[in-house]
Structures are given as C-alpha cells and as structure tokens.
C-alpha cells in the first residue's frame, strides 16, 4: 500500500516536471524583447507586404490572410484566429519560399503585433517601426 502511494506521488511529480519543462522551452523559444527588427531593415518585399496588410490587400497568394495556428508555439499564446499569415515573396523562386509575416490582432488591417520569419516559422522577430 505504501509503495503504491509513493509511486503515484512520484508519477505526479514527474508529470509536473515535464509540464514545467515544456513551458520553459516554449518561453525560451518565443520572441523576446531583443528579438526585434525594424521595418526599414526588412527586405523590400516584406515592407511591401506590410503595406498590403494595412490596406487590406490585394494579396498575390491564396493562403495570405489565412489563420496561422501557432503550432510551433513560438509566438505569444492567443485564441484561434488571432494570428494571420502572409507570404513575403523571394525574388527568383517559382514558389512561395520560406519568408512570412505573421500578424496578431482581431482587425487584420490594424495588427497589434507583426512578426517576420525568414525560415518558415523556425524563428520569429517582432517587427517594430
């Protein structure tokens, strides 16, 4: 009886440690205050996409403006539908490439925060004016 009780407590402790570890990992990978990029430092194509976002389009790719689910959990947590993704064209590529802008906010033309990724969601930098 005593062994079963200790086993359950040890299992709960282990699960708690795993949960804390996952939270720490997500926070460590999320964009920090220093992970920013000025809009003027982004590629010209990204600056043009930001203009299109603010004017509501038109966007050249069908996926532009669709919900970004943040499956990588690299952006701050938010309710479904908060984030939207947009393609940043790469000159010379015949496909969408890896560059994206992801904006958060409930009004797409007035985003609360936008993030740039050059590596298809492996990392993000917050775009600042």
Note whether residue 67 is domain-resident. yes
95 given a catalytic annotation = no
Note whether residue 112 is domain-resident. yes
State the residue range of the domain holding 106. 31-128
Note whether residue 99 is domain-resident. yes
Note whether residue 7 is domain-resident. no
Note whether residue 13 is domain-resident. no
Q: Long-range contact list for 55-61, CB < 8 A, 24+ apart?
A: 55/109, 56/108, 56/109, 59/86, 59/87, 60/87, 60/89, 61/87, 61/96
Check residue 11 and give its pLDDT: 56
Other Cβ atoms less than 10 A from the Cβ of 27: the count is: 11
pLDDT tens-digit profile, the chain (129 residues): 556 665 566 556 555 544 444 444 444 445 555 699 999 999 999 999 999 999 999 999 999 999 999 999 999 999 999 999 999 999 999 999 999 999 999 999 999 999 999 999 999 999 998
Q: Which of 72, 95, 112, 120 is catalytic?
A: 120
Number of domains in the chain: 1
Q: Which of 45, 62, 85, 95 is catalytic?
A: 85
How many angstroms separate the CA atoms of 37 and 123, rounded?
13
Note whether residue 69 is domain-resident. yes
CATH number of the domain that residue 90 is part of: 3.10.450.30
Check residue 31 and give its pLDDT: 55
Check residue 24 and give its pLDDT: 45
Note whether residue 5 is domain-resident. no
Note whether residue 21 is domain-resident. no
85 given a catalytic annotation = yes
Q: pTM surpassing 0.85?
A: no
């Amino acid at each position: 009886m005593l062994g079963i009780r200790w086993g359950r407590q040890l299992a709960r402790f282990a699960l708690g440690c795993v949960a804390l570890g996952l939270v720490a990992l997500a926070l460590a990978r999320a964009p920090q205050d220093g992970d920013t990029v000025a809009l003027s430092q982004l590629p010209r194509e990204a600056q043009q996409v930001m203009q299109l976002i603010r004017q509501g389009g038109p966007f050249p790719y069908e996926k532009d403006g669709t919900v970004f689910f943040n499956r990588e959990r690299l952006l701050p947590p938010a309710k479904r539908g908060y984030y939207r993704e947009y393609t940043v064209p790469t000159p010379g590529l015949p496909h969408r490439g890896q560059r994206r802008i992801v904006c958060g906010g409930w009004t797409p033309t007035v985003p609360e925060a936008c993030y740039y990724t050059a590596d298809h969601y492996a990392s993000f930098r917050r775009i600042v004016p």
